[in-house]
Chains A and B, each alone.
Chain A
């Protein structure tokens, strides 16, 4: 499968989707001017990946900020991962948040409540 590698900017996140090397990660800031257009290739990629996923998919979210429009598309990504999980594959979501960022931690908890996928919260310290 082709690799998606997007270098982040101050308003779009970094994205790595590389099935061969088991790398699935979205990190940084997300407030793109056109959220639907930004996330469309990512969702399309996941659709194709779901047809023949790896035995285990560990998907890392390491966002420092996302706006509400992005929050909806992040849920769409999680729902795709839920489908892969429900089809009998091993899936783990790792939600990374800065240790002092309660809002980002809470956002992870809310997503974990909504989707039925193994979900792990990981705090990290900055610097």
Chain B
């Protein structure tokens, strides 16, 4: 920005952004540092909204669960390519989107990841997606017994928990950014009709 606002450009941007959000039924979108404060603020805001809309309590709990785990995934695992200086990595940055349709909520996250982490994530997500409810329970029990809290404070159980609580398959895609990094998109659906 050079201090002068291009009014036409701004209007077009805001209007198209507004339309896109409406089309995709986005109720909350955020891009930036995902801190503990952000996690708390978004979850309590969403909780209050669902409460006001008399959302089914079980759906409310599931949305809360998924939001917490997804936001913590970003805050613990996301990497960031600083556009001005590649030598300063910043963690915990990503995009978070909550959308609400007639019959479901969808929580979507996007963040930058080192390519060398992809195989491990794919293996984990594919394993989870092959399992049924009982299989997920067993995997959860096995992982919680073996697992340790990582230096970043994660238990490595987030994806399993999301699949277990929502009963939906986990959607994911990687978009290559350059030789070193990819953009990881992760999406979960929470049905409103239990």
Name which of A10, A72, A73, A114 has the most chain B CB atoms within 10 A of its CB.
A72
Cβ of A67 and Cβ of B72 under 8 Å apart? yes
A75 to chain B: which residues have CB within 8 Å?
144-145
Cβ of B144 and Cβ of A72 under 8 Å apart? yes
In chain B, positions 136-154 with a C-beta closer than 8 Å to chain A are 137, 140-141, 144-145, 147-149, 153-154
Cβ of B64 and Cβ of A68 under 8 Å apart? no
Classify chain A's interface size: 20 to 34
In chain A, positions 39-73 with a C-beta closer than 8 Å to chain B are 65, 67-69, 71-73
In chain A, positions 66-96 with a C-beta closer than 8 Å to chain B are 67-69, 71-73, 75
Whether a CB of chain A sits under 8 angstroms from the CB of B90 is: no
A100 to chain B: which residues have CB within 8 Å?
57-58
Knowing A75-B145, A110-B141, say if A67 contacts B153 (CB, 8 Å). Answer: no
At the interface, is chain B mostly helix, strand, loop or mixed? helix
Knowing A10-B44, A11-B40, A72-B155, say if A103 contacts B144 (CB, 8 Å). Answer: no
Closest-CB distance, A91 to chain B (whole angstroms): 19
A103 to chain B: which residues have CB within 8 Å?
61-62, 65, 165
Cβ of B58 and Cβ of A102 under 8 Å apart? yes
Cβ of B145 and Cβ of A110 under 8 Å apart? no
In chain B, positions 147-178 with a C-beta closer than 8 Å to chain A are 147-149, 153-155, 157-158, 160-161, 165
B36 to chain A: which residues have CB within 8 Å?
11, 33
A67 to chain B: which residues have CB within 8 Å?
65, 68-69, 72
Instruction: Tell me, in angstroms, the Cα distance from A102 to B172 when the chains sit together.
Output: 27
A71 to chain B: which residues have CB within 8 Å?
144, 155, 157, 161
Instruction: Tell me, in angstroms, the Cα distance from A11 to B161 when the chains sit together.
Output: 19
Cβ of A101 and Cβ of B149 under 8 Å apart? no
Cβ of A69 and Cβ of B72 under 8 Å apart? yes
Option from B39, B61, B72, B140 in Cβ contact (under 8 Å) with A110: B140
B144 to chain A: which residues have CB within 8 Å?
71-72, 75, 114
Knowing A35-B149, A113-B141, say if A65 contacts B61 (CB, 8 Å). Answer: yes
Cβ of B68 and Cβ of A31 under 8 Å apart? yes
Considering only CB atoms, which chain A residue lies closest to B43 in the complex? A31
Whether a CB of chain B sits under 8 angstroms from the CB of A3 is: no
Option from B40, B58, B149 in Cβ contact (under 8 Å) with A73: B149
Name which of A31, A67, A101 has the most chain B CB atoms within 10 A of its CB.
A67
Closest-CB distance, B14 to chain A (whole angstroms): 34
Instruction: Tell me, in angstroms, the Cα distance from A100 to B59 when the chains sit together.
Output: 12
Closest-CB distance, A114 to chain B (whole angstroms): 6
7 contacts between A and B (CB under 8 A): A35-B153, A67-B72, A68-B69, A69-B72, A72-B149, A72-B157, A103-B165
- Other A-B pairs beyond A69-B153, A110-B140, 13, CB < 8 Å: A11-B40, A36-B153, A65-B65, A67-B65, A67-B72, A68-B161, A69-B149, A69-B157, A71-B161, A75-B144, A100-B58, A101-B61, A102-B58
**Closest 4 A/B residue pairs (Cβ):** A68-B157, A72-B155, A33-B36, A68-B161
